């Protein structure tokens, strides 16, 4: 089989698997979030935490709980890093410097997992597994909880409560993420990922040199890093490292884990609003964008345009031999279409236009299918904007799933979409305006701008991948990107929850002849159009100065 | 408790919830996975170690440099891909070069300065590696966009637009002979180290060379620890290794076949040869 053909089969096999799995998984998540029963271990957690699981929360209480939990998470994670030399399993690592610890704490709590550090030389095992990996679970569960709260807002009839954040957080972690992670971790160990608590040990190589073989609880962290669309690597090389991604088939498993929950949540949404067709429409929008993106990116990398890829004969710089070009490109598309940011190959060395596709994927707001939870709520906000645009065209009051989209709703939806462009463009402009920050660029010319633009796009959209040539480990970048991550995560969450609250209050209006059906291909096409046009108008000028200038001669 | 303000109670509840979840997800879960993996999958969980005469010599999954003390390739061993991890294959500094597809201009070392004071572009690295591999294996090391002396074939043309008035071969330090005598009627100069050429237009020149050395032999991997090479690169090295070891080429090819991993299920990944396993097998005879 030729590399191109096997690459296509690789993509097709992932699509088929997702099509099969999304139903049972989506149904499982539906039961998790709507069930009345608490597991014994969950009741124990509620008692130890001192929260009442039966109490319903209005949107403002729900939002305050999300923010309180995240604030405490940042503080604890920051503290663990600063004190790691006094913790068990520190491997003799010194405390993490303040600006790096701040950046990393915000990064993992916001589900971004931007890494201003190199894992194998900065973090001890305890900080990795009891600090960073815990946030891999709970930041994902927070994203799902917010998405479910928005869905409840759409589904509820004149009832202000959106559920209970603590219940959604604990159930998402314990009943959805933990079982899949547990099984997946063992599968990955079978493929060659390491899982131990050992410090690096030296061996003498065949030619008499020395090499340090590293250890760590890697597999248990790797699986939740993909499943929770987090992306923070145990090692600096992330999923390109053979101990994080050992073979061609572990690569397949990891890509599947990235896409699993985001593509199943629309099913959960369809069941919760009592109309599965609505869920199919949402998943169709996501899949349309995703398939086009994967195909374009894989095609561009296989075509290896540009001087160095042409000289080398293939776009193999920064890519692993066991994955090859096609499967690396598929991973790159999956990781940037979601909020993952794990990499199995280094995007900085991609072809100019291939690298642009990874950036464009993030600029879409990561909605196709997006991060766990964040992808669904982002897409639902886009659906709200689309019915509004359609309503303007025909001069009717727009409604979505029987809920009127009035002035308050559309203001919140618009604010949601203004956050990341403002952060990305202002951040990039500030960095480019300062000679000191420009000095962090590794590559010259348009590619240098791409590195900075990528960094702010990645941080503000909570992705976490990088054009790694940028030396972003400076106090300025650590603070600036940390602020982008925090605002890029929590402002949209507050707007989404406020939107959910105002939708939840409404009694649904009956369907009439003038209602725009939101489950038909026409609507799917409209949302795809709105998404792409919104992004293109916002970011095209910046892309023209960076990757387009580099890639088009 | 009840008398505390609402926001304090909320944050205390959050802290307690986080601590309990840390215990479950950050301690019990990874330790349980570690315990099961250590019992059932001991070899993989501990890094898939490889042994020679009872001594651990590395891992199936972590590549190594097979060079002598002088840093030159050891002729009797198959060579790994170029590595950007530390000084090469350093697992404490995994990573890639992160150099972009249009990184084609070198910073030439000033005359008299040490040769490693400049900066090689990615293009020149590719060209230099190709030339070195070609010499080692006794095949042509040329490739597109490369000069015969193994640097990037890139011109700087002045002015940026219009008829060229001055043309410099940007990566060939004087007194090198430029890879092109003339460009659009203008004689091509060699580059004077230290001169700022940034005002010129960058023109990479493809040339007519066809690459014999495979792509993975001239590019650094993502991890810098890639344990594999392509089958084509292994085949290219087979005659040299056979000659150095006094073995038949057929025997070496047979060993390559034994240490080649095909695509999983026929479509996942690419066929590759594990270099350390292959070299160990050669040492065993």
Closest chain A residue by Cα to residue B26:
A130
Contacts 24+ apart (CB under 8 A), B191-198: B191/B108, B191/B156, B193/B108, B193/B109, B193/B110, B193/B111, B193/B118, B194/B108, B194/B110, B197/B105, B197/B156, B197/B168, B197/B170
> For the whole prediction, is pTM greater than 0.95?
yes
B97 and A251 within 8 Å at the Cβ level: the answer is no
Return mean pLDDT, chain A.
Answer: 96
CA distances from B157 to A316, A370, A443, B105, B124 (A): 29, 45, 21, 13, 19
Count how many Cα atoms sit within 13 Å of the Cα of residue A341 in the half-sphere of its side chain.
Answer: 34
Burial tier of A197 (Cβ tally within 10 Å: 0-12, 13-18, 19+): middle
Tell me, what's the pLDDT at A17?
Answer: 98
Distance CA A67, CA B156 (A): 55
Provide the percentage of residues in chain B whose pLDDT is more than 70: 99
* B66-123 per-position pLDDT tens digit: 999 888 999 999 999 999 999 999 999 999 999 999 999 999 998 777 767 789 999 9
Q: Would you tell me which residues 133-152 of chain B have a C-beta closer than 8 angstroms to some C-beta of chain A?
A: 143-146, 152
Domain borders along chain B are 6-45, 49-97+224-284, 115-204
Q: Mean per-residue pLDDT for A112-116?
A: 96
Closest chain A residue by Cα to residue B91:
A212
pLDDT of A157 strictly over 90: no
Tell me, what's the pLDDT at B200?
Answer: 95
- Model confidence at A536, pLDDT cuts 50, 70, 90, reads confident
Tell me, what's the pLDDT at A177?
Answer: 98
* A366-405 per-position pLDDT tens digit: 999 999 999 999 999 999 999 999 998 888 889 999 999 9
Bridge partners, B191 (sequence order): B173
Nearest by CB: B13 against A49, A71, A312 = A49
| Chain A CB contacts of B223 below 8 Å | 235, 237, 240-242, 320
Tell me, what's the pLDDT at B108?
Answer: 94
* A97-107 per-position pLDDT tens digit: 999 999 999 99
| Chain A CB contacts of B265 below 8 Å | 249
Return mean pLDDT, chain B.
Answer: 95
- Find the farthest-apart pair of alpha carbons in chain B and give their distance in angstroms, rounded: 89
Radius of gyration of chain A (CA): 23
Nearest CA to A437 out of A408, A459, A469, A470 is that of A470
Closest chain A residue by Cα to residue B107:
A444
- Model confidence at A138, pLDDT cuts 50, 70, 90, reads very high
Tell me, what's the pLDDT at A512?
Answer: 84
* Dihedral sign (CA B158, B164, B169, B175): negative
Alpha helices by DSSP H, chain B: 6-21, 29-40, 42-45, 122-137, 231-245, 249-258, 275-284
* B33-43 per-position pLDDT tens digit: 999 999 999 99
**Are A51 and B17 within 8 A, CB to CB?**
yes
- Model confidence at B272, pLDDT cuts 50, 70, 90, reads very high
Residue A314 contacts by C-beta under 8 Å, 6 or more apart in sequence? Answer: A304, A325, B215, B216, B219
Distance CA A26, CA A35 (A): 14
A244: closest CA of chain B, how far (Å): 10
A318 and B26 within 8 Å at the Cβ level: the answer is no
Tell me, what's the pLDDT at B2?
Answer: 64
ipTM of the prediction? 0.96
Nearest by CB: A214 against B21, B91, B220 = B91
A343 and B222 within 8 Å at the Cβ level: the answer is yes
Count how many Cα atoms sit within 13 Å of the Cα of residue B29 in the half-sphere of its side chain.
Answer: 31
Q: Between the CA atoms of B160, B161, B163 and B165, what dihedral angle is there, to the nearest 10 degrees?
A: -20
Closest chain B residue by Cα to residue A172:
B21
B67 and A207 within 8 Å at the Cβ level: the answer is yes
B261 and A310 within 8 Å at the Cβ level: the answer is no
User: In angstroms, how far is CA A536 from the centroid of its own chain?
Assistant: 21
Radius of gyration of chain B (CA): 26
B228 and A321 within 8 Å at the Cβ level: the answer is yes
pLDDT of A417 strictly over 90: yes
Nearest by CB: A323 against B18, B269, B280 = B269
* A284-332 per-position pLDDT tens digit: 999 999 999 999 999 999 999 999 999 999 999 999 999 999 999 999 9
* A242-279 per-position pLDDT tens digit: 999 999 999 999 999 999 999 999 999 999 999 999 99
Pick the range with the lowest mean pLDDT from A190-199, B3-12, B148-157. Answer: B3-12
Core vs surface per residue A74-83: b (16+ CB within 10 A) or e? bebbbebbbe
| Chain A CB contacts of B123 below 8 Å | 307-308, 311
Nearest by CB: A190 against B41, B100, B214 = B41
A288: closest CA of chain B, how far (Å): 23
DSSP structure string for A464-527:
----TTS---SHHHHHHHHHHHHHHHHHHHHHHHHHHHHHHHSPPPPP-TTPPPSSSHHHHHHH
**Are A481 and A374 within 8 A, CB to CB?**
no
Q: Measured at the alpha carbon of residue A362, what is the angle toward residues A358 and A363, in degrees to the nearest 5?
A: 110
Q: Measured at the alpha carbon of residue B202, what is the angle toward residues B201 and B205, in degrees to the nearest 5?
A: 130
A and B: number of Cβ contacts within 8 A: 396
| Chain B CB contacts of A219 below 8 Å | 33, 37, 45
The reply to whether B59 touches chain A by the CB within 8 Å rule is: yes
Q: Tokens 């067709």 sit at which residue?
A: A277
* B127-139 per-position pLDDT tens digit: 999 999 999 999 9
Tell me, what's the pLDDT at B66?
Answer: 97
Pairing of strands B186-191, B201-204: unpaired
Q: Would you tell me which residues 181-200 of chain B have a C-beta closer than 8 angstroms to some C-beta of chain A?
A: none
The reply to whether B227 touches chain A by the CB within 8 Å rule is: yes
Contacts 24+ apart (CB under 8 A), B245-250: B245/B76, B245/B282, B247/B282
| Chain B CB contacts of A183 below 8 Å | none
| Chain A CB contacts of B266 below 8 Å | 1, 6
Alpha helices by DSSP H, A274-406: 276-303, 307-312, 324-337, 352-363, 374-394
* A485-523 per-position pLDDT tens digit: 999 999 999 999 999 999 999 999 988 888 899 999 999
Provide the percentage of residues in chain A whose pLDDT is more than 90: 95
CA distances from B40 to A193, B33, B43, B109, B206 (A): 13, 10, 9, 55, 54
A51 and B100 within 8 Å at the Cβ level: the answer is no
Nearest CA to A247 out of A293, A178, A287, A188 is that of A188
B228 and A322 within 8 Å at the Cβ level: the answer is yes
- Model confidence at A34, pLDDT cuts 50, 70, 90, reads very high
* B13-24 per-position pLDDT tens digit: 999 999 999 999
**Are A180 and A140 within 8 A, CB to CB?**
no
Tell me, what's the pLDDT at A534?
Answer: 87
| Chain A CB contacts of B204 below 8 Å | 307
């Amino acid at each position: 089989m030729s590399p191109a053909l096997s690459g296509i089969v690789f993509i097709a096999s992932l699509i088929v698997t997702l099509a099969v799995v999304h139903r049972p998984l989506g149904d499982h998540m539906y039961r998790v979030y709507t069930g009345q029963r608490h597991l014994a271990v969950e009741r124990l957690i509620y008692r130890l935490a001192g929260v009442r699981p039966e109490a319903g929360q209005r949107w403002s209480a729900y939002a305050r709980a999300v923010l309180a939990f995240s604030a405490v998470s940042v503080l604890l994670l920051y503290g663990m890093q600063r004190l790691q030399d006094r913790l068990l399993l520190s491997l003799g690592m010194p405390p993490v410097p303040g600006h790096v610890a701040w950046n990393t704490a915000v990064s993992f709590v916001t589900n971004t997992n931007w890494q201003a550090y190199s894992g194998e030389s900065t973090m001890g095992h305890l900080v990795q597994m009891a600090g960073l990996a815990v946030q891999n679970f709970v930041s994902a569960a927070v994203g799902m909880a917010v998405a479910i709260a928005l869905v409840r807002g759409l589904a509820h009839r004149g009832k202000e409560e959106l559920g209970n954040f603590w219940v959604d957080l604990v159930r998402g972690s314990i009943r959805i993420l933990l079982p899949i992670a547990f099984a997946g971790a063992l599968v990955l160990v079978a493929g060659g990922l390491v899982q131990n608590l050992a410090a690096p040990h030296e061996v003498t190589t065949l030619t008499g040199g020395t090499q340090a073989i590293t250890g760590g609880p890697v597999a248990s962290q790797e699986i939740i890093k993909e499943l929770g669309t987090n992306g923070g690597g145990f090692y600096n090389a992330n999923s390109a490292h053979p101990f994080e991604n050992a073979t061609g088939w572990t690569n397949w498993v990891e890509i599947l884990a990235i896409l699993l929950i985001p593509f199943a949540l629309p099913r959960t949404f369809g069941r919760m609003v009592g109309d599965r067709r609505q869920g199919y429409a949402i998943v169709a929008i996501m899949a349309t964008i995703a398939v086009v993106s994967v195909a374009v990116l894989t095609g561009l990398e296989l075509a290896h345009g540009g001087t160095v890829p042409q000289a080398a004969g293939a776009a193999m710089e920064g890519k692993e031999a066991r994955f090859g070009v096609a499967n690396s490109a598929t991973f790159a598309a999956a990781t940037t279409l979601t909020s993952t940011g794990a990499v199995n190959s280094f995007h900085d060395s991609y072809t100019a236009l291939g690298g642009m596709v990874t950036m464009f994927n993030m600029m879409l707001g990561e909605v196709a299918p997006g991060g766990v939870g964040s992808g669904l709520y982002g897409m639902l906000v886009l659906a709200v904007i689309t019915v509004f645009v359609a309503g303007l065209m025909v001069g009717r009051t727009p409604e979505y799933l029987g809920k009127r989209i009035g002035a308050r709703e559309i203001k919140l939806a618009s604010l949601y979409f203004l956050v990341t462009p403002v952060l990305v463009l202002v951040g990039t402009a500030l960095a480019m305006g300062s000679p000191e920050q420009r000095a962090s660029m590794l590559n010259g010319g348009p590619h240098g701008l791409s590195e900075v633009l990528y960094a702010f796009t990645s941080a503000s959209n909570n992705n976490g991948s990088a054009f790694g040539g940028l030396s972003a480990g400076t106090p300025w970048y650590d603070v600036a990107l940390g602020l982008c991550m925090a605002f890029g995560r929590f402002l949209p969450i507050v707007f989404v929850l406020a939107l959910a609250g105002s939708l939840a209050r409404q009694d649904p209006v009956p369907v009439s002849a003038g209602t725009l059906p939101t489950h038909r291909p026409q609507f799917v096409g409209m949302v795809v159009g709105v998404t792409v046009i919104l992004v293109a108008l916002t970011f095209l000028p910046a892309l023209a100065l960076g990757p387009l200038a580099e890639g088009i001669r | 408790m009840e008398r505390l303000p609402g926001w304090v109670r909320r944050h205390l509840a959050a802290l307690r919830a986080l601590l309990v979840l840390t215990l479950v997800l950050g301690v019990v879960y990874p330790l349980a996975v570690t315990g099961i993996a250590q019992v059932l999958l001991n070899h993989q969980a501990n890094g898939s170690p490889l042994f020679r005469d009872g001594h651990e010599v590395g891992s199936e999954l972590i590549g190594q440099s097979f060079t002598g003390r002088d840093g030159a390739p050891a002729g009797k061993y198959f060579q790994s891909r170029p590595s950007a991890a530390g000084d090469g294959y350093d697992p404490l500094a995994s990573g890639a070069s992160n150099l972009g597809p249009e990184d084609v201009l070198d910073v030439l070392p000033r005359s008299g300065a040490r040769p490693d004071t400049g900066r090689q572009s990615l293009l020149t690295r590719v060209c230099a590696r190709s030339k070195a591999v070609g010499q080692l294996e006794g095949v042509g090391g040329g490739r597109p966009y490369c000069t015969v002396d193994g640097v990037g074939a890139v011109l700087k043309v002045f002015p940026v637009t219009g008829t060229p008035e001055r043309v410099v071969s940007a990566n060939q330090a004087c007194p090198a002979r430029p890879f092109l005598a003339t460009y659009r009627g203008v004689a091509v100069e060699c580059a004077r180290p230290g001169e700022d050429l940034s005002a010129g237009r960058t023109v990479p020149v493809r040339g007519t060379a066809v690459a014999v050395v495979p792509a993975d032999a001239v590019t650094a991997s993502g991890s810098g620890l890639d344990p594999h090479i392509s089958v084509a690169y292994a085949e290219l090295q087979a005659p040299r290794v056979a000659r150095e070891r006094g073995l038949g080429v057929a025997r070496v090819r047979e060993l390559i076949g034994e240490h080649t991993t095909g695509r999983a299920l026929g479509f996942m990944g690419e066929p590759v040869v594990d270099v350390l396993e292959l070299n160990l097998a050669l040492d065993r005879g």
